[in-house]
C-alpha cells in the first residue's frame, strides 16, 4: 500500500510537469509580423505582432532576442514593451461599404458593432469614418469626439449600387500615412467587405498593392459575402485577405459568425495585442532614399522568425527634436514620401543569419527611377517635361514682346515725321488717332523696361489747319503692379500617375492646378481632375492658402474635402482627383 501511494504521487507530479512544459511550449513564438513602422530621424518605432502556434499573442519579449537592420546598417534595439502597457493610442480608420451588397439587417449589425467600438475607445484613441460606394467620402476626419462619431454612424444607410472598394482603401491608406502631430502613431484600417470591386473604371488590385509597398498602413479586414457564385465569392475574399497580409494587418472570416459585434471586438483585440519596439540607427544616412527594415526574432530553441517592410529615411524638419518615445515624436515627423516600388515578399519561415538578412544598399533597393524621384539633386522626368514647356512658352512670349517693341518704335518715328509734315503743311488733314492710341499704349507700358529717352516717345498733337502744331506730349508710364514673388513652392506627387515626381511653382500670382495645359501645374493624366481644379496663392503676409475652384470632384486637404479658402502649411497633403501632393516648402 505505501508503495502504491508512492507511485500515485510520482505519476501526479509527472503529469503536472508535463502540463507545465506543454503550456510553456504553447506560448513559444511561432509567427512574427511587422505590423507597422514609424520613422523620426534616426529613431524608428516598430509594432510587432508575435503569435504562438494557437494564434495567441506572445508578450514578454526581450531586446536581446531581437536583431534589426535598416538597409546595410544595424539598428540598436533600445526598448521593447507591450503596446497595452504604453499610454499610446490608436487611430482607427473605419471603412464602411454603403452599397446595397449588404442587407438592411446586416448593415444594422455593422452600425451597432461600430458604435460599440467607438464607446470602447481609450482617451488617447481617435477614429475616422470613410464611406465607399459609387464614390468615396471622408465622412468624419480623425477625431476623439465620440458623440460626433456615433451621430455619423447612426445616420449611415446603404444607398449605392456600385462599390469603389479599391479607391476607398487608397483613401484610407493615404489618410493613415499622414504625419499629423495630434494623431496617434499607431494606425489601423478596419473594413468589412466581400472584397469585390465593381466601380466602372475603378482602381485595380495592383494599384492598391503599390500603395502598400512602402510604409504601409495595416488593414484589418473582416470578410463577409452574400454573393451566390462560389468562384466570384472566393476570389473577392481572397483579394481582401491578400490586402490584409501585404499591409501587416489581419483577415477574419465572418461568413459563419452569428454575432458581428463579437468579430469586431476580436479584431480590436488583435490591433492592440502588439509589441512596441524602439530602434535607433546611428549610422543610417537620412538621405530620403528607400531602405528595407528587417527585424529578426531569435528564440531560445534556435528558431528564427523574420519579417520586414520598406521605409524611406527622411531627415527631420528644421528645429525638430527627436523625443524619447513614440508619443513624443508626433510633432517632429517629416512628411511621408511617395512609394514608387513594389515591396519584397516576407515570410514567417526561417530567415538567413542577421547580417545576411540585411536588405540591399540604396543603390540596389531602389530603381534608378525611384532614386531620381527621392533625391533633391535629381530632376524627375515629369518635371523636365514641365520645364521644357515653360521654356518654349517663355521664348514665344519674348519674341512677341520684341516684335511689339519694334512696332511701337517704328510707329513713334512715323508719327513724329507726320507731325513735322503737318507743321509745314497747314492745309493737310490730321492723322487718324486709332493707330496712335494703340502704339502709345504699347510703348508707354515698356518705357521703364527699355530705359529709353522720353523724347523718343514724345507725341506731337497736330493743330487745326490754320494754326501751327502744338508742343510734344509725353505719354506717362503706368506704375508696375506689386507682385509678391517669395520663394518657389515645392510639391511632391505622393499618389497618382506622376507618383515620385517633385515640382516647383512660382507664386508671383495664384498658381492653378488642373488638367488644362495652360495651368501652372498641369496634371493631364488624371481623369478625375477638372480643367481648373484648385489654386494656391501666397498672401501679402507670405501665408499660403489653398482654394477649390468649383471642381467636379472637390479638393481635399489632409484627406478632408474643403470649401472656400484654407491655410496651407509645409507637410500638408493636397488631394485632387486620384492625385495627392505633399507640400514640401
Domain coordinates in residue numbering, the chain: 31-86+279-313, 91-272, 489-584
- Give φ, ψ of 470 to 5 degrees: -80, 170
For the stretch 401-457, pLDDT in tens is 887 888 778 777 777 777 666 655 544 444 444 444 444 444 444 444 443 333 433
d(CA 191, CA 263): 12
Q: Could you give the CA distance from residue 491 to residue 511 in angstroms, rounded to a whole number?
A: 12
Share of the chain above pLDDT 70, in %: 71
More confident residue, 93 or 422: 93
- The reported pTM is 0.56
3-state SS, residue 90: strand
d(CA 240, CA 252): 10
> Looking at 87-101, 241-255, 317-331, which range is the least confident one?
317-331
| Nearest CA among 489, 492, 486, 496 for reference residue 546 | 489
Neighbours of 90 (CB within 10 A): 21
Its sign, for the CA torsion 576, 579, 580, 584, is negative
Q: Render pLDDT for 409-423 as a digit per residue (tens, 0 to 9).
A: 877 777 777 766 665
* Poorest-pLDDT segment among 216-230, 484-498, 515-529: 484-498
* Section 48-68 average pLDDT: 91
Contact 344, 29 (CB under 8 A): no
CATH 3.30.160.270 corresponds to the domain 489-584: no
292 backbone dihedrals φ, ψ, rounded to 5°? -95, 120
What average pLDDT does the chain have? 78
Q: What is the per-residue pLDDT for 200? A: 85
SS3 content of the chain, % helix, strand, coil (to 5): 30, 25, 45
CA distances from 418 to 146, 197, 281, 425 (A): 83, 77, 82, 10
The residue-averaged pLDDT of 468-491 equals: 57
pLDDT digit string (tens) for 62-91? 899 999 999 999 999 999 999 999 999 999
- The model's confidence at residue 326, banded by pLDDT at 50, 70 and 90, is very low
What is the predicted pLDDT for the residue at 363? 37
User: Given strand 31-40, what is the order of strands in its sheet?
Assistant: 31-40, 43-51, 275-280, 73-82, 66-70, 290-298, 304-312
Does domain 91-272 sit in CATH 3.30.70.360? no
Contact 476, 467 (CB under 8 A): no
Q: Nearest-CA neighbor of 569 among 13, 133, 181, 235?
A: 181
pLDDT band at 8 (very low <50, low <70, confident <90, very high): low
pLDDT at 284 exceeding the cut of 90 = yes
What average pLDDT does the segment 20-41 reach? Answer: 75
Contacts for 490 with CB less than 8 Å, ≥ 6 apart: 502, 503, 504, 505, 583, 584, 585
CATH code assigned to 31-86+279-313: 2.60.40
Q: Which pLDDT belongs to residue 484?
A: 54
Q: Do 31-86+279-313 and 91-272 share a fold?
A: no
Q: Which position has the higher pLDDT, 495 or 432?
A: 495
As a whole number, mean pLDDT of residues 474-484 equals 47
**Res 374 pLDDT > 80:** no
Residues 142-157: tens digit of each pLDDT: 999 999 999 999 999 9
Q: How far is CA 214 from CA 36, 114, 208, 221, 573, in A?
A: 10, 29, 12, 19, 17
Cα separation of the two ends of the chain = 89
- Mean pLDDT lowest among 55-64, 283-292, 386-395, 460-469: 460-469
Cα 506-508-511 angle, rounded to 5 deg: 60
Strand order in the sheet with 502-505: 502-505, 489-493, 579-583, 573-576, 555-557, 560-561
DSSP 457-499: GEEEPPPPTTSPPPPEEEPPPPPPPP----SPEEEEE-SSTTT
Amino acid at each position: 500500500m505505501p508503495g502504491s501511494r508512492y507511485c500515485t504521487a510520482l505519476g501526479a507530479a509527472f503529469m503536472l510537469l508535463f502540463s507545465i512544459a506543454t503550456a510553456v511550449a504553447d506560448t513559444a513564438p511561432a509567427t512574427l509580423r511587422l505590423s507597422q513602422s514609424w520613422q523620426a530621424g534616426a529613431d524608428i518605432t516598430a509594432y510587432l505582432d508575435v503569435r504562438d502556434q494557437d494564434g495567441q499573442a506572445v508578450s514578454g519579449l526581450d531586446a536581446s532576442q531581437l536583431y534589426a537592420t535598416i538597409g546595410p546598417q544595424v539598428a540598436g534595439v533600445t526598448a521593447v514593451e507591450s503596446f497595452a502597457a504604453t499610454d499610446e493610442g490608436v487611430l482607427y480608420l473605419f471603412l464602411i461599404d454603403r452599397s446595397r451588397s449588404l442587407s438592411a439587417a446586416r448593415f444594422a449589425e455593422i452600425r451597432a458593432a461600430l458604435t460599440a467600438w467607438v464607446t470602447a475607445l481609450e482617451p488617447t484613441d481617435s477614429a475616422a469614418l470613410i464611406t465607399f460606394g459609387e464614390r468615396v467620402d471622408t465622412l468624419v476626419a480623425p477625431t476623439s469626439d465620440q458623440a460626433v462619431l456615433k451621430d455619423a454612424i447612426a445616420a449611415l444607410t446603404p444607398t449605392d449600387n456600385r462599390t469603389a472598394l479599391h479607391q476607398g482603401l487608397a483613401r484610407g491608406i493615404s489618410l493613415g500615412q499622414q504625419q499629423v502631430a495630434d494623431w496617434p502613431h499607431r494606425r489601423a484600417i478596419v473594413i468589412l467587405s466581400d472584397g469585390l470591386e465593381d466601380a466602372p473604371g475603378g482602381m485595380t488590385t495592383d494599384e492598391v498593392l503599390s500603395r502598400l509597398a512602402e510604409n504601409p498602413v495595416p488593414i484589418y479586414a473582416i470578410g463577409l459575402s452574400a454573393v451566390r457564385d462560389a468562384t466570384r465569392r472566393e476570389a473577392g475574399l481572397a483579394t481582401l485577405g491578400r490586402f490584409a497580409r501585404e499591409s501587416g494587418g489581419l483577415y477574419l472570416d465572418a461568413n459563419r459568425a452569428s454575432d458581428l459585434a463579437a468579430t469586431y471586438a476580436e479584431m480590436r483585440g488583435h490591433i492592440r495585442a502588439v509589441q512596441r519596439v524602439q530602434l535607433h540607427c546611428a549610422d543610417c544616412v537620412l538621405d530620403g532614399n528607400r531602405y528595407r527594415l528587417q527585424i529578426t526574432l531569435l528564440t531560445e530553441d534556435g528558431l528564427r522568425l523574420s519579417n520586414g517592410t520598406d521605409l524611406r529615411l527622411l531627415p527631420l524638419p528644421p528645429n525638430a527634436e527627436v523625443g524619447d518615445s513614440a508619443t513624443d515624436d508626433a510633432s517632429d515627423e517629416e512628411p511621408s514620401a511617395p512609394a514608387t516600388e513594389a515591396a519584397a515578399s516576407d515570410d514567417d519561415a526561417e530567415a538567413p543569419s542577421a547580417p545576411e538578412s540585411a536588405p540591399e544598399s540604396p543603390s540596389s533597393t531602389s530603381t534608378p527611377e525611384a532614386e531620381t524621384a527621392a533625391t533633391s539633386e535629381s530632376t524627375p522626368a515629369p518635371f523636365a517635361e514641365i520645364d521644357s514647356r515653360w521654356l518654349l512658352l517663355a521664348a514665344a512670349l519674348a519674341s512677341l514682346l520684341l516684335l511689339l517693341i519694334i512696332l511701337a518704335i517704328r510707329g513713334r518715328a512715323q508719327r513724329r515725321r507726320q507731325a513735322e509734315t503737318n507743321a509745314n503743311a497747314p492745309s493737310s488733314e490730321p492723322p487718324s488717332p486709332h493707330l496712335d492710341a494703340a502704339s502709345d499704349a504699347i510703348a508707354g507700358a515698356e518705357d521703364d523696361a527699355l530705359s529709353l529717352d522720353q523724347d523718343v516717345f514724345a507725341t506731337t498733337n497736330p493743330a487745326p489747319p490754320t494754326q501751327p502744331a502744338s508742343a510734344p506730349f509725353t505719354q506717362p508710364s503706368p506704375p508696375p503692379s506689386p507682385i509678391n514673388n517669395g520663394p518657389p513652392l515645392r510639391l511632391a506627387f505622393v499618389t497618382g500617375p506622376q507618383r515620385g515626381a517633385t515640382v516647383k511653382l512660382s507664386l508671383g500670382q495664384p498658381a492653378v492646378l488642373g488638367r488644362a495645359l495652360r495651368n501652372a501645374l498641369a496634371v493631364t493624366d488624371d481623369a478625375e481632375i477638372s480643367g481648373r481644379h484648385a489654386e494656391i496663392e501666397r498672401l501679402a503676409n507670405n501665408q499660403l492658402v489653398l482654394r477649390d475652384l468649383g471642381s467636379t470632384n472637390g479638393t481635399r486637404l489632409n484627406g478632408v474635402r474643403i470649401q472656400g479658402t484654407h491655410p496651407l502649411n509645409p507637410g500638408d497633403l493636397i488631394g485632387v482627383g486620384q492625385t495627392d501632393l505633399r507640400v514640401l516648402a
